[in-house]
Amino acid sequence: MPSPGPFDFHSVALPWLHAKPGAKWHRTPDAIAAWVADMDFAPPPVVVHALQEVVAGGDLGYPDWRHVTGGSPATDVFVERCARRYRWAINEADTLELNDVVQGIQIVLHLCTQPGDGVVVHTPAYPPFLHSVEDSGRVVVPVPAQRSEASSTGWAFDHDALDATLSQTPAKVLLLCHPHNPTGHVFSEHELESLAELAERHHLLIISDEIHADLAYGAAAHRPMALHAPERTVTIHAASKAFNLAGMRYAIMHIGAESVRSALATVPGHLFGAANLMGAVAAEAAWRDGDEWLAAVVQHLDAQRTLLASLLAEHLPAVRYSPPTATYLAWLDCRALGWGDDPSARFLERGVRLSEGPNFGVEGNGHARLNFATSPSVLREIVERMSRSA
């Protein structure tokens, strides 16, 4: 076993995991939880320390931030980090703090589109994308993922076909997931450029969900969509995936599009609530002091995505899997098993809970999503159980 270094991602044991109160493990008392996108590890020590300091300080009253409704110190750290990490120069005045990423998506869809408007989504899609569009009466315009030997990520999207579709049936928004959940595809500079051109030609507003930005492997450095279409893009970020803080409920939106800025100016300031003190403190600590932990966890996840390939080859060779270029999510094509639209039901009978493929849209039929952000021994147990007869 490799040395855990200053951070230990190897010692998560099943009894400790099953005792966790969060949704991922608490809802699966009889199975190993490899579904919802939380990692099995404790959060970064720098974040825990920052939260403990606030509690020990004894003041959980209104924080003394610049504006009552937002503008916590996390925004400054975010702005500084975007310049340092992504070479993306932005102004704090163009940011808005949120409780979560999906809230930001829904705010922009609500303010800037009407029922019946088309929203372009790369499918299969993170299920709340589909719900956010469909439950508000907007219409998904799908761009299906295709396997591609030529692509460095193993996936490609036919943007020429999308161009032709939009010429016939106009849409209002491109709702981008970059990097893409569930395929782990990182959109290349060329793809981002062609999406920016397409958005310009078809007058699309771009909402770019970049929550998985810091979970890219190898040479796949993150490049924000907004670098290619600065005046058309709203970017939404959070520390929650890369630093394992989803329960802190904190996200941030950068508004590059003037139409969104003016739409937001028409609504009362408190309509969307204000950032939570602890969420902002956690994000600030993660973004300011969490780089060492982040590098270590990405290195661990990188080894896990490769380990998963060898475990599947050994135990479940009929399952097709391309290691993701980003994220700790593995998109498993289980169609060769002949288990119908939802193979996760069969894996659950065998004692492993995966995310159900059909929830990601019709392209998800016959698929399941596996979360490999755990220890090597738990991952081994996951695949061994998946391959056992029920």
Ligand X SMILES: Cc1ncc(COP(=O)(O)O)c(C=O)c1O
Q: Where on the chain is the footprint of ligand X (CB under 6 A)?
A: 37, 100-102, 126, 177, 181, 209, 211, 238, 240, 246, 251
Residue closer to ligand X by CB (options 120, 311) is 120
What DSSP state is assigned to residue 269?
T
Residue closer to ligand X by CB (options 294, 337) is 294
3-state helix, strand, coil in the chain (%, to 5): 45, 15, 40
Residue closer to ligand X by CB (options 122, 300) is 122
Residue closer to ligand X by CB (options 101, 108) is 101
Residue closer to ligand X by CB (options 24, 81) is 24
Closest approach, Cβ 101 to ligand X, in A, equals: 4
What is the token pair recorded at 117? 């408007």
Closest approach, Cβ 209 to ligand X, in A, equals: 5
Closest approach, Cβ 303 to ligand X, in A, equals: 22
Which residue in the shown chain puts its C-beta closest to ligand X?
Answer: 100
Closest approach, Cβ 45 to ligand X, in A, equals: 22
List, in sequence order, every beta strand (DSSP E) within the chain.
32-33, 95-98, 118-123, 139-147, 155-157, 173-177, 205-209, 233-237, 251-255, 329-333, 352-353, 355-356, 367-371
d(CA 179, CA 78): 19
Closest approach, Cβ 107 to ligand X, in A, equals: 12
Cβ atoms 326, 217 nearer than 8 A: yes
Total length of the chain: 390
d(CA 342, CA 322): 19
Residue closer to ligand X by CB (options 304, 355) is 355
Closest approach, Cβ 31 to ligand X, in A, equals: 20
Cβ atoms 40, 18 nearer than 8 A: no
